[in-house]
Structure 1
């Protein structure tokens, strides 16, 4: 007789139990729940085979470079409303809050990411409003600064994201992009304002540092 299948734990319970808290390489001011070899992320998905690592479980270079930049230049966010698009672990949102942002919102399409952001915000003693949604076809949000890390990883998404960022810029929102110059980053439409060497766990770089850039939309310097 088969035993009844046990329900999967909620994402927050799973993350707390299986993703240890560590300081982010290159950003020791921030700690996150991060996946390791024994985390068993496939169990959170409820399937019996391994799946590609969820983006929110690792600090990627685009988010890391934005977090480092905001912590080094808190005047960029102090007293402002900040929205972190495709927030993943919440790394950039946490950095903005620590740097003195008036209000921080984190948006991601993955409900597991939203659970991780809540836990990671609490670890770092900051308050972040997090919600699961795809907003890039929606009107520009009510914010002063839009931060975007690591969203240029395939051609179709890159086109959609750039169209949204242009609409946001036209409505008066400042846009900052963090990326380690992946193939689908439209560099001809951007201006680089900074470069930092940061770790890129999600990129499979054996935890080594890679140079990543902070960009603004061309014409928005």
Structure 2
């Protein structure tokens, strides 16, 4: 089994350091095209038919969350923050830069954790790993950031009851939606909106309107 150092070496070799359009303050290890890194990831894992390497791109939901945080650091300063389905950890890094008391990144992908470690190191911040599936975990955070997690019905059914449970326990849950089909229609309070530049390869358009919602319990 390959270890963390090998995973980090793979991520570094397959990406370049670039700055997301909406959050240029935060450099990240990012892929330039989806097909080559997808194929390389399948070869590295020795698996076929895997999900896209979400960790290799600054998705619009994460960019919007990071921009929202950096525009007003008091939103997370001094708080315990979870970046759920963190990808490469963009929102987590923004929270750490904004002075959060502690930041965790939750992912089920080994390479996503490797990307987050590299990206956190690049930005001089500490982001802890929350390995495995954290869904169902009791509330140990003040704020949960969930960027673009309602893109499939099974995923939404899996996570939404837990996120609502956290919100009911007093956790601020911020859900970033770039117009996905399975976002709930009730129990949402819009708190911000951003127009995020995207690539046609990933989104089939030039921009995405991302709304940040506060989730009710």
Same fold flag (TM > 0.5)? yes
CA distance in 1, matches of 2:95, 2:116: 13
Residue of 161, 167, 170 corresponding to 1:169? 167
The aligned runs of 1:93-108 (5 Å cut-off) are 93-108=92-107
1:49 Cα deviation (Å)? 7.0
Please state if 1:45 is matched with 2:42: yes
1:45 Cα deviation (Å)? 2.7
Aligned residues of 1:150 and 1:179 also touching (Cα < 8 A): yes
Q: Which has the larger radius of gyration?
A: 1
Residue of 183, 199, 205 corresponding to 2:203? 205
Return 5+ residue gaps in structure 2 as ranges: none
Residue of 188, 192, 195 corresponding to 2:193? 195
Return 5+ residue gaps in structure 1 as ranges: 1-6
TM-score (norm 1): 0.87
Residue of 30, 34, 56 corresponding to 2:26? 30
CA distance in 2, matches of 1:67, 1:183: 23
Residues 203/85 of structure 1: CA separation in 2 closer, same or farther (3 Å cut): farther
The match for 2:90 is: 91
Residue by residue over 1:141-192, the C-alpha shift from the partner in whole angstroms, topping out at 9 and shown as x without a partner, is 3111111111101112112211011111122211111111211011322111
TM-score (norm 2): 0.88
Of stretches 30-39 and 110-119 in structure 1, the one that deviates more from structure 2 is 30-39
How many residue pairs end up in the alignment? 212
The match for 2:70 is: 71
Residue by residue over 1:87-135, the C-alpha shift from the partner in whole angstroms, topping out at 9 and shown as x without a partner, is 1110000011111111101010111100000000001111100232111
The match for 1:4 is: none
Aligned residues of 1:60 and 1:203 also touching (Cα < 8 A): no
CA distance in 2, matches of 1:202, 1:218: 33
